[in-house]
Amino acid sequence: MVNEQRDGRVHRTVHEAETDAPADVVYRLIADTSRWPLYLPPNVQVEQLESTGDTERLRMWATANGQVKSWTSRRVLDPVARRIEFRQEVPAAPVETVGGTWIVTELGPERSLLTLLHDFTVADDRREDVEWVERAIDTNSRAELGNLCTLAAGWARLDERVVVFEDSVHVDGPAERVYDFLHRADLWPERLPHVDRLELTEDEPGVQVMTMNTRTADGSAHTTESVRVCFPEDLRIVYKQTATPALMTAHTGCWTVRPADGGGLTVTSQHSVVLCEEAVEGALGAGVDLAQARRHVREALGRNSGATLHHAKQFAESAALSR
């Protein structure tokens, strides 16, 4: 539900949704931004810049009307009132100012109302820019509230639906060469046998949007769409799949290159997945339970990312040997 008001150049929106979950559970989901890329469909990555008491500054990346936008926000958390106020310090164009409030209202022991308020302005109050921002806020807010309410309603089994794991390899080679292999995903069809096709655009340095066709061990093909945010100074790449298989409601990951104890490098692939419990039998067969689905996802994702780690290791070490 959206109610829109205009006060001069300030535009205001209200989005609300009810869920069968305790208010404290709902509040914890919106307070913990470390899992927003996993829990909020538009959100790609959150980096905490500062945290002091109930105030924090965040750098955020999210999709908006098919584009990837980035901004810096300050949030003030009030766990007693179950309110979180936010204000973007460095908004993304065409926004001039934007802020708002998350509010969780207890309707009963197992029932809550989640409200999301926004106010914003755009330069010169251009109608086309106002409409663009309204559309982005409406689309993203509906997606965020809808998914948060679904997750909160199933909070008792949420931990069973979340799969987090990582794989690592030791590399005796230049860190920059490993990072280059992971960063140049546009070359993966030439470098990785399980990648058939990959289309990549990088309109903003360090923000990559890609569509990839991969093959699994049984020969079946899969197409995934992802947004990647690259941090070359930290030798790290984070990503979020924006189109996932039916078995998953969300999939995020991270590639890291770190010095290893005793010399060399530790290169790690980390995955976080939220399983769609209702899709398990349809995707994997009658009688397959959540535990089996967890093992399947761990093996399938680990197999492909493990292959990528192996080829990155060969790529870096071959350069070291040739020197």
Q: List pLDDT tens digits, range 96-150.
A: 999 999 999 999 999 999 999 999 999 999 999 999 999 999 999 999 999 999 9
Q: Is 174 helix (H, G, I), strand (E, B) or coil?
A: coil
Average pLDDT (74-85) is 98
Q: What percent of the chain has pLDDT over 90?
A: 90
Average pLDDT of the residues of the chain = 94
Q: What percent of the chain has pLDDT over 70?
A: 95
Q: Is the pLDDT of residue 7 over 60?
A: no
What pLDDT is recorded for position 98?
97
Secondary structure in 3-state letters for 31-48: HCHHHHHHHCCCEEEEEE
Nearest to 269 by CA among 165, 184, 192: 165
Q: Is the pLDDT of residue 282 over 50?
A: yes
Q: Is the pLDDT of residue 200 over 50?
A: yes
pLDDT band at 321 (very low <50, low <70, confident <90, very high): low
Q: Is 206 helix (H, G, I), strand (E, B) or coil?
A: coil
What pLDDT is recorded for position 8?
61
Separation CA 6–CA 138 (nearest Å): 15
Q: What is the pTM of this model?
A: 0.93
Nearest to 37 by CA among 253, 270, 279: 253
Q: Is 94 helix (H, G, I), strand (E, B) or coil?
A: coil
Phi, psi angles (nearest 5°) of residue 105: -110, 130
What pLDDT is recorded for position 1?
42
pLDDT band at 221 (very low <50, low <70, confident <90, very high): confident
Q: Is the pLDDT of residue 323 over 80?
A: no
Q: Is 76 left (phi over 0), alpha (psi -120 to 50) or beta?
A: beta
Q: Helical H runs in the chain?
A: 23-31, 36-39, 127-153, 158-161, 175-183, 188-191, 280-284, 290-322
Least confident of 189-203, 217-231, 235-249: 217-231
H or E stretch at 270: strand 265-275
Alpha-carbon dihedral angle through residues 56, 57, 61, 63, given to the nearest 10 degrees = 70
Least confident of 11-25, 102-116, 195-209, 213-227: 213-227
Average pLDDT (300-306) is 93
pLDDT band at 31 (very low <50, low <70, confident <90, very high): very high
Angle (nearest 5°) at CA 122 between 119 and 123: 150
